[in-house]
Amino acid sequence: MPGIVGWLPAKVDIGYRIKAGEELVKLDVPDLMSQKKHKEALLEQAQKQVSLARESQKVAAREVEEAEKQEKRYAAEYAFAKVQNERVSTLVRQNTVTVERGQETLRQLEVAESAWQAVRASIDTKKARLAASAVDIEVAQSRVEVARAEVNNVSEMIGLATVRAPFDGYITKLWISRGSPIKDAGAPLLTVMNSDTVRILLDIPEKHVPLVTALENQPSQPEKPDPVELRVLALRGESNGGVFPGTVTRVSAALDPITRTMRTEVHLPNKEGHLKPNMYGTARITLAERPYVLTVPSAALARRADEVGVYIVADIDSTTQLGVVRWVKVQLGLDDGIQVEIRKGLQGNEAVIAKGNGVVREGDTVKAVPLRKAE
């Protein structure tokens, strides 16, 4: 987020060992602090509106109570006036009192009835006002919730101005210094890595992809993941000679359309920290093991159009060891780049020319000699 690096301890630098949750950097964010104060003021105003609405509700409730008491009094006065009017009307009919007296009691009854009806009408008005005050409280409380949410939102953003270590590991790059302005919300501050477990990336050629078995991509019939041996030349002086054993952890579900290889991962424990990020090494994967099979050097293969074969020395003279070059079609199996499995085409007693492609031709007379191993 935009701000200024305000707190950056001297120990926070490349190579520093970090602990999960440790505070590493604090940014000064004056704009957010100003927004927070503004939002807090709005929250306080909304809370006061709630208090004011509740007080108005109390006043409205008291007014309804007082109006109901008045209604009872006016109802009693109306009842008294009605009885008085009926009694005087009887006396008027009996000529005991004057007509004027009867008209006076009638007017008193009408006045009492009007007062009673007015009070009843005022009760309805005050009850409506009481109900409206309850709505005002709900509206004010909603405004409080909105204002509180805005304050919490800004507070969360301010909290993000404190950068904490996401996990145990090391700082590998420091992009800032104290007082550095941060203008872009996505600007890097620190680069941290956890090297307790390292991820080795391999690219498997297309022809070997069906043979790869990974720990996290098991087929329907679970098999053991392929073992891997990683050799890092830069670490050959370590106690393990720079050799790190492991197994295939996962493989990609697709091949690279350009290299025709499939990305493969090997996760190796690295508690001692020998392996460093972005180191290079050589990995050997055991895709399958087939004991007691017939193999020839990969250099012995010779292609003819779409067929693959090897050159052999046939009809060897036991005295001179001279023979005739023949090309034999073979069917291949596993190939590790050094030795290749021969599944069909050879019996195992042939004298195979270790490297005949481009060197000899079928029909040439050659002398068969044992293969000399490199010292």
Q: Which of 139-148, 176-185, 211-220, 346-355 has the lowest mean pLDDT?
A: 211-220
Task: Give the Cβ contact number of residue 190 at 10 Å.
Answer: 20
Distance (Å, whole) CA 122 – CA 69: 12
Mind listing the domains of the chain with CATH numbers?
Answer: 3-28+162-191 (2.40.50.100), 30-159 (1.10.287), 195-285 (2.40.30.170), 295-367 (2.40.420.20)
Sign of the torsion formed by the C-alpha atoms of 329, 330, 335 and 339:
negative
| Band (218; pLDDT cuts 50, 70, 90) | low
pLDDT tens figures, 332-366 = 988 878 889 999 999 999 999 999 888 999 999 99
Please tell me the pTM assigned to this model.
0.56
Exposure string over 12-42, b if 16+ CB within 10 A, otherwise e: beeebebeeeeebbebebeebeebbeebbeb
375 pLDDT higher than 50:
no
